[in-house]
Structure 1
Amino acid sequence: MKGSGKSMLAILHLILTLATTLLYLFYGAVPSGFVGVLAVAGVFLGALVAWFAVFLLFLIIVMVGFRDANPKRMFKHAVMIAFARYYYCLILRVKLIVTGRENLPKNNLFVIYSNHIEAADPMYLKMVFRRFPVAFISKEVLFKQFLLGDMLRSVGCIPISPGADRSAMNTILEGIKRVKGGQPYCIYPEGRRTYSNDIIAFKPGSFKLATKAEADIIPVAVYDMHEINRKGRILPCTVRLHVFPAILATDYAGSDTIELAKKVETIVGAKMEEFKRLYPTPSHKS
């Protein structure tokens, strides 16, 4: 992804950390010898952690403080994306490679349908669709977590219950209204995370979000996201995201959601198999 390896927030973090360390060097009581070296190193690491905490606090204040503001306001999304790039790409040392950028939509009337590997998937999607106020249809349990629920609601995310009940239908209806109102959404048609590069059947019901809103469908494939949290990982890792050409609302008119689900599942599945051949991870190497 062009520019994904750079972040103004990371540069600011480094400058503030160095400034704090220099202040200690010039004005602090620095011990002499090896103990002094350790003290300076400790101050540097302490400042690194402290400034990270400040940035995290700023994110929380913006998300929670403006929780009731219009979720389509790009300011909130821009703050979240900046922190995501800083944390997921730099702190966690993840390189995001994006293909299909030429397929990014030209307006807000679209719904993203992607395979779902890890909890970090939404943040990488937001980085790629950074010019749009993309929100998510998210698991209900996430909205019950301290602060996280407020942050999700702040950018327009809608909770959905795990079963195909009336509550889940109300979520889709609310999502349809918001998509029509100009806020694009992402929904994960598998219904859960897979923690692997293997996809599972796409649920037809999830496609009502796009069809009832008469929105374009943007298929997306994410690959190797589970490598981010691989146990014992020390070295940087690479993840991939591909944006497919939109399936226009005018093109799928007349199709039912079962057909659409199978079509998008086939599109995404074929790309995942291609990724496996070209970039095999340890679990797929022979």
Structure 2
Amino acid sequence: MGIILRCARCNGIILLNYYTLSDKTKICWLCGEKEKEQERQRMIQETLQKFPEGAYNVLYKFVEKYRGMSPIEELHKLINLLEVKYQIHISLYDFNDIEDILKRKIEEAERIQSLEEFEKDLLGKTEYIHKKIDALLKEDDDTKYFCTVCNNIIDKKNFEYTKTHFGKPLCVTHQGTRYQRLLFEALKQRGIECEFEAYDGFKHVDIAIPKVRLYIEIDGDYHSTDPMQLGKDLMRDEYSSKEGYITKHYTNKQIAENLPAIADALVEVIKNREKINSVIN
């Protein structure tokens, strides 16, 4: 029996691909990808710390304003501003990581502020919480808003925003990734009727174009490197094909680096398929 090679991180058996670290330690492909992502996060953190104060404040305020839902034209303006005024170049792919870091900082700051306000109220120094409760009690209790996907309750502001932008009420969890939203918006701007977070009775799909029976999935890298996830995706695609749907997969990086070209290509393919369908029918 041959030597069994085990990952130095998770102790799992290494079958084919693996990473060799600088100290000659071998780790499995999945642990290697995780380490690469962690290293990328560290580099992004270090880069962010080196930003001039003005550039950092601009980024912080932008993330605070949009919370991951910025219109693509506004995002391009931000990137141009940073490049022209501060000589800082950020790709869409890098911005997503920076945005995640800043969102966590903002959420932590808001959590601390909320706790401080709560403390002041307990000490009798403010009526903040009492006013908040009074305002909530005055609201119409009969009006409830629910996420289309998970049926969880969402607030009115979120309900109105998602109905306008996605055509259906969605909770924060089911508003997709930045890349999913970017491609969805790009297709809508090009006049394509598409559905965000579509459900086919078996699974949810990132973007669906029912007219031409096309599904679009935007995946992270692990969809290509994790055998278990890859197997699930193949089963999902097989189910879709039995229903007459073709599934096109893109990676986050592809969307970040080639969004306009991808959207234009999809539009051409969709219109060609519509013509073919009209002839057949």
Class of the TM-score when normalised by the shorter of the 2 chains: under 0.3
Larger radius of gyration: 2
TM-score (norm 2): 0.25
> TM-score, length-normalised on structure 1?
0.24
Greater RCO, 1 or 2 (C-alpha within 8 Å, sep 6+) = 1
More helix, by proportion: 2
